[in-house]
Structure 1
Amino acid sequence: MATQRYSVTPHPIETLLTWVKSGEIAIPEIQRPFVWDATKVRNLLDSLYNGYPVGYLIAWRNPTVRLKDGTTSSGKRILIDGQQRVTALMAALLGQEVIDKDYRTRRIRIAFNPLEQKFEVTNPAIQKDATWIADIAEVFSPEVGLIGVMDDYLARNPEADRKEISGILQRLWQITNNHVGVIELAEHLDIETVTEIFIRVNSTGAQLSQADFVMSKIAADERNGGNQLRKAIDYFCHLAVSPEAMPRIEKNDTEFVKSEYFQKMRWLSNVNDDLYDPSYTDMLRVAFTSEFGRGKLQDLVALLSGRNFETRDYEEEIAEASFERLKKGVFNFMSKTHFDRLTMILRSAGFVTSNLIRSKNAVNSAYIIYLRGRAEKMDAAELERLVRRWYVMSVLRGRYSGNAESSFDYDIRQIEMHGLAKYANAVIQSELSDDYWSALLPQQFNSSASTTPSFVAFKAAQAKLGDLGFLSRDITVRDLLLNRSDVHHVFPKNYLKGRGFTAARYNQVANFVIAQSEINISIGDKSPDVYFSELADQCSGGSQRYGGIADIDEMRANLETNCVPASVLNGSIPDYDDFLEERRTMMAEKIHLYFKSL
């Protein structure tokens, strides 16, 4: 017989709101801040008033935990789906404030017109109109209540029929008697099963990540300071993107401002660096993996619940210890010293702008490697070199592009077993073998996607090696990447289009060079044999058409730096496909040279 995985029970809205107020149901605020606009709140109330279904709520009961004194504590319900709806009801019916996307605390006031039986978002015109009840929260308020609202309304609208208005307001007041189905998931279910049930039940098919469940678990555990920890993660990620939000947080969340978490992130108020803007998933991934030596976030949910993996029981001591370890991992992540050092290492590898950061998981892995190296007290210079090489290897090989979580878990367990330097260097040597440099990497340039990892690494290599831009005498690729540059087609795009080439052919990354805009514009659609001939003439006293290089040796050096065969200056313009083949090999050789310099 199959094990029952859930139960479905209808509950009055009033009961649900009571549970939330008492803490029986924990709203983990996965989607915090409140993301609904006021019109959605209005529509929800209109549906309830007219008896329309408003969907199910999904709750997942925490496991029963054995306390230190030997007694057990039955876990509270965590609201997995329906947070926005419940928060909207709390705001509109009970008058509770919400925090909006700008981290401002505000009221959502919904008005009701008994004569038209219509809901609207309160506005100044409605507030002046006697036919409207400007804030329905008054109906549900113990201080005012249904009778008080009705008497006030009839005083303002003496022509209204008392019996009719009384019946309509009674119907409004009884909204809280409407039932909503609560799907309660069994406490023994793992994250994968909970996720599958959520997707099957949720009409939108929205995905919940394992990080969402971790955030639920953290926020629901008030005993271990989970709400403050969840806020720390949320605020840090928000401030990393929008440091200008700092004054609003200081004004609106004075309790959090007093916490040790806030002091650890104050440095973000003066930061305008977008090289690495972590999400809460990134932050949890790095903090957990580096601190716990595990890579699967479902294990973190279990540990924060107090799971003893040997006895399969849930124990308070394990939950407490796990929260402390996670807190330490979060502090390490938020450290200005650590965060700055990571971004410095990435820049020192040539990844000088966020446009070159194509894989957040590769950055996360680099941060994990860095934090582990710090924990192992590795020499600073040796650690920086290892992080650079690991990151570039991860980018080139797409190490975290598939099942990233399994890769994280495998890597960190091997690091735990063999030590960081020994394992990481062995992986780098294996992944970037001689065969990779000579055979596989050139083939990776057979792509028309400018974001392909090999071309991104090529641009980073040019930035790291101090290469000059294509045909530039003084401007480096690094300068161009940091300011403004064009991706120039060596064989111009329109030139190739005119000869019947498709986009997949003329946009091959091996046809791309980084150039100043004015040089790109000057070349335009000219055929390669024309403009390379003019470049040769430019170095023999002719007019300066493209850039400022007038010396033939300097011109050859520039072409070779940009992996363009210098033979083109002699009129030896290869067939387009032969050119691509030769340039792919040259670009791979440059990246190999670059990697050795790391």
Structure 2
Amino acid sequence: MQKYSVNQHLIETLLTWVKSGEIAIPEIQRPFVWDSSKVRDLMDSLYQGFPVGYVIAWRNPNVRLKDGSMSEGKKILIDGQQRVTALTAALLGEYVVDKTYQRVKIKIAFNPILEKFEVQNPAILKDSSWIPNIAEAVSGEISILKLVRNYLAVNPEVDEDLVERAFTNLINIPKKQIGIIELSHDLDIETVTEIFIRINSKGVVLSQADFAMSKIASNTEYQGNVLRKAIDYFCHLAISPEFYKHIVDNDPDFAKTDFFAKMKWLKSENEDLYDPEYTDLIRVAFTSQFNRGRLSDLVSLLSGRNFETRSFEDAIAEQSFEKLKQGVFNFMNETHFKRFLMIIKSAGFISPKLIRSQNALNFAYILYLKLRELNVNSVSIESYVKRWFVFSVLTGRYSGSPESVFDFDIKQIHNRPFDEYLKEKEEGELSEAFWNASLPQSLDTSVASSPYFNVFLASQVKANDRGFLSKDVMVSDLISLRGDIHHLFPRDFLKKNGLDRSKYNQIANYVYMQSEINIKVGNKPPKDYFELITNQIAAENKLVSGLSSHEELVANLKANCVPTEIMNMNLEDYQEFLILRRKLMAQKIKEYYFSL
């Protein structure tokens, strides 16, 4: 089956399609990221007759309307948005939305004598040899005769034939051809993705979320364009609350929508534990609302696909947009969002640096929203969400490609009591063998951002543990105030004795310790620096640590999962120490998990 057609079209035809909506360029599907010099270079290439690449469009399927008639699908721009947007900006004088979401005009100037293009600047505006904005020349509002006459009036010394030839070439740019690859409407999203990757020389992977976003934004009938903008604005506001004023000042129509009312609370919110990107927001909204995990299904549903008859129906598209809109509202809801973050923080994950799996966080929010919808009581929801999040992190449940696991999990949660499903997963994947063998082995790593080490730190935060050898300073303080991780067997000591980085940087050798304590520990072996500490306790001075009794010292070691044997250890004991500490860390994580 031929999966696509390739045709050459006039640029002016392409621009007509854009203006009429035949080709949908979502307003903020992707901000215009080219700088003005690239727009200038594109105009020069077209003027010189050089090829400028292909545009790839995917035709929406034809949809059966409520009255029984068929609606012909629009084309969605899959690749080439930057070039097409550059053409509309330079040749039509249209506004573009830049990387900071500002609406700007890009004005390209032309010098017919030099046959050169340049980005408009103050110097060009003062120089009569330049046409300051080519959009005014190619719009057709001025005839070439008048264009030449006006130019010669301020540049009487130049060659009239040269100027006329240059202007003719300029205004004929819209008559140049551009290749359009149109993908068949009945292709599934996986095939479209593969075609895109194979045909794009840069090998840029366009995710299924990108297709979903294009699909949403191209639908004006059910206000998909507004929905897409809401998703973008929420994610932008979550990172930059000051962007609120920009929306009010520059997008008054959106500022009147219910979406904006739902996200206003972000203008004074500085929490950065969960800063979702649009892919995260759409995945959570879709999965929680549709009980499906594959975004290709979302694209199909928004197209109106009836999975049973394999036809496309307007009623299904309308219903799907409404459901997705509700999912986005649920995601943005201030109460939902803040209560979810409170649950994650109450599990000890108080800093974004403790969270390395955005997918685990996304599904935890899906679970929270779903359990609310199923009317599970709030106390149970809190426990279930915490447990499932930590379970996901410990088992790497959503690492790699998460869609099939999302799909499986949400169907289970929707169709049976969650406590049954959770118990089944725990019995299958968190057996005694996991806690006693698999987890200690997983702690045998030098990667400080290891999810297992992050769960261990969260367990310390949850238990209100003090930092190593600290009397009052909490682990939570050291994490949130950017304290440092230090080595129990000092790094310099191990390095000087010939151990390489992978050996001395073991996470079982890591501990949160105040820098001033670490300096006093220095590069001594544990046996020596613990002798200093025990002597200090006996002499009732606090030169190294604020701990004032042997009982406090032992309690501090226990809280940090440091085996008491360390107090008599030297270089030759290092490997034994690592084994002992990994077991203690695993045991603490186990107790922490079942306390959630």
TM-score, normalising length from structure 1?
0.97
Per-residue CA deviation, residues 69-114 of structure 1 (Å, 9 max, x unaligned), is 1110110111100111101110111111111122211111111111
Greater alpha carbon shift after TM alignment, 186-195 vs 541-550: 541-550
Helix, strand or coil: the match of 1:181? strand
Helix, strand or coil: the match of 1:160? coil
After TM superposition, give the deviation of residue 234 of structure 1 in Å: 0.8
Helix, strand or coil: the match of 1:165? helix
Alignment counterpart, residue 185 of structure 2, candidates 184, 187, 199: 187
2:386 aligned with 1:383: no
Residue type at the aligned position of 1:175: I
After TM superposition, give the deviation of residue 249 of structure 1 in Å: 1.2
For the residues of structure 2 that align with 1:105 and 1:47, how far apart are their CA atoms? 26
For the residues of structure 2 that align with 1:53 and 1:522, how far apart are their CA atoms? 68
Alignment counterpart, residue 561 of structure 1, candidates 555, 559, 562: 559
Residue type at the aligned position of 1:60: W
Paired position in structure 1 for 2:579: 581
Map 1:374-523 onto structure 2 (within 5 A). 374-523=372-521
Greater alpha carbon shift after TM alignment, 409-418 vs 302-311: 409-418
2:93 aligned with 1:95: yes
For the residues of structure 2 that align with 1:338 and 1:47, how far apart are their CA atoms? 52
Per-residue CA deviation, residues 261-318 of structure 1 (Å, 9 max, x unaligned), is 1111111101111100001111111111111011000000000000000000000000
After TM superposition, give the deviation of residue 30 of structure 1 in Å: 6.6
Paired position in structure 1 for 2:157: 159
Alignment counterpart, residue 592 of structure 1, candidates 578, 590, 593: 590
Map 1:194-593 onto structure 2 (within 5 A). 194-541=192-539, 543-569=541-567, 575-593=573-591
Per-residue CA deviation, residues 148-194 of structure 1 (Å, 9 max, x unaligned), is 43332222211111111010011011111111110000011011110
Map 1:55-204 onto structure 2 (within 5 A). 55-144=53-142, 146-204=144-202
Per-residue CA deviation, residues 22-65 of structure 1 (Å, 9 max, x unaligned), is 11111135752211111111111111111111110000000011
Residue type at the aligned position of 1:458: F
Helix, strand or coil: the match of 1:402? coil
After TM superposition, give the deviation of residue 500 of structure 1 in Å: 1.4
Helix, strand or coil: the match of 2:449? coil
Residue type at the aligned position of 1:201: I
Residue type at the aligned position of 1:438: N
After TM superposition, give the deviation of residue 572 of structure 1 in Å: 7.7
Q: Is the 8 A contact 1:442 1:585 kept in 2?
A: yes
* Structure 1 unmatched ranges of 5 or more: none
Length, aligned pairs only:
596
Residue type at the aligned position of 2:61: P
Over 3 Å counting, the alpha-carbon distance change for 1:523 and 1:431 in structure 2 is: same
Over 3 Å counting, the alpha-carbon distance change for 1:73 and 1:525 in structure 2 is: same
After TM superposition, give the deviation of residue 434 of structure 1 in Å: 2.0
For the residues of structure 2 that align with 1:30 and 1:433, how far apart are their CA atoms? 48
Greater alpha carbon shift after TM alignment, 276-285 vs 153-162: 153-162
For the residues of structure 2 that align with 1:208 and 1:470, how far apart are their CA atoms? 47
Greater alpha carbon shift after TM alignment, 537-546 vs 105-114: 537-546
For the residues of structure 1 that align with 2:237 and 2:497, how far apart are their CA atoms? 51
For the residues of structure 1 that align with 2:208 and 2:143, how far apart are their CA atoms? 43
Residue type at the aligned position of 2:319: A
Per-residue CA deviation, residues 126-156 of structure 1 (Å, 9 max, x unaligned), is 1111111111111123444544433322222
Q: Is the 8 A contact 2:525 2:569 kept in 1?
A: no
After TM superposition, give the deviation of residue 549 of structure 1 in Å: 1.3
Q: Is the 8 A contact 1:480 1:516 kept in 2?
A: yes
Q: Is the 8 A contact 2:526 2:568 kept in 1?
A: no
Greater alpha carbon shift after TM alignment, 271-280 vs 103-112: 103-112
Helix, strand or coil: the match of 2:7? strand
Q: Is the 8 A contact 2:526 2:567 kept in 1?
A: no
Q: Is the 8 A contact 2:470 2:514 kept in 1?
A: yes
Q: Is the 8 A contact 1:447 1:509 kept in 2?
A: yes
Q: Is the 8 A contact 1:30 1:212 kept in 2?
A: no
For the residues of structure 1 that align with 2:30 and 2:183, how far apart are their CA atoms? 23
For the residues of structure 2 that align with 1:573 and 1:118, how far apart are their CA atoms? 72
Residue type at the aligned position of 1:437: W
After TM superposition, give the deviation of residue 571 of structure 1 in Å: 6.0
Q: Is the 8 A contact 2:29 2:213 kept in 1?
A: no
Residue type at the aligned position of 2:549: D
Q: Is the 8 A contact 1:471 1:547 kept in 2?
A: yes
Q: Is the 8 A contact 1:5 1:189 kept in 2?
A: yes
Q: Is the 8 A contact 1:138 1:145 kept in 2?
A: no
After TM superposition, give the deviation of residue 435 of structure 1 in Å: 1.9
For the residues of structure 2 that align with 1:419 and 1:320, how far apart are their CA atoms? 31
For the residues of structure 1 that align with 2:457 and 2:181, how far apart are their CA atoms? 52
Residue type at the aligned position of 1:298: S
Residue type at the aligned position of 1:271: E
After TM superposition, give the deviation of residue 538 of structure 1 in Å: 1.6
Alignment counterpart, residue 40 of structure 1, candidates 33, 38, 41: 38
For the residues of structure 2 that align with 1:495 and 1:6, how far apart are their CA atoms? 65
Q: Is the 8 A contact 2:28 2:229 kept in 1?
A: no
Over 3 Å counting, the alpha-carbon distance change for 1:354 and 1:372 in structure 2 is: same
Residue type at the aligned position of 1:472: S
For the residues of structure 2 that align with 1:72 and 1:369, how far apart are their CA atoms? 39
Q: Is the 8 A contact 1:567 1:573 kept in 2?
A: no
After TM superposition, give the deviation of residue 433 of structure 1 in Å: 2.0
After TM superposition, give the deviation of residue 559 of structure 1 in Å: 1.2
TM-score, normalising length from structure 2?
0.98
Helix, strand or coil: the match of 1:539? helix
Helix, strand or coil: the match of 1:35? coil
Residue type at the aligned position of 1:32: R
Over 3 Å counting, the alpha-carbon distance change for 1:7 and 1:491 in structure 2 is: same
For the residues of structure 2 that align with 1:542 and 1:117, how far apart are their CA atoms? 86
Helix, strand or coil: the match of 1:311? coil
Residue type at the aligned position of 1:319: A
Q: Is the 8 A contact 1:41 1:92 kept in 2?
A: yes
After TM superposition, give the deviation of residue 516 of structure 1 in Å: 1.2
Q: Is the 8 A contact 1:59 1:81 kept in 2?
A: yes
Residue type at the aligned position of 2:429: E
Helix, strand or coil: the match of 1:393? helix
- CA RMSD, 1 decimal: 1.4
Over 3 Å counting, the alpha-carbon distance change for 1:541 and 1:324 in structure 2 is: same
Residue type at the aligned position of 1:197: I
Q: Is the 8 A contact 2:29 2:228 kept in 1?
A: no
For the residues of structure 2 that align with 1:308 and 1:436, how far apart are their CA atoms? 44
Helix, strand or coil: the match of 2:539? coil
Q: Is the 8 A contact 1:117 1:168 kept in 2?
A: yes
Helix, strand or coil: the match of 1:282? helix
For the residues of structure 1 that align with 2:427 and 2:245, how far apart are their CA atoms? 48
Q: Is the 8 A contact 1:535 1:569 kept in 2?
A: no
Residue type at the aligned position of 2:573: D
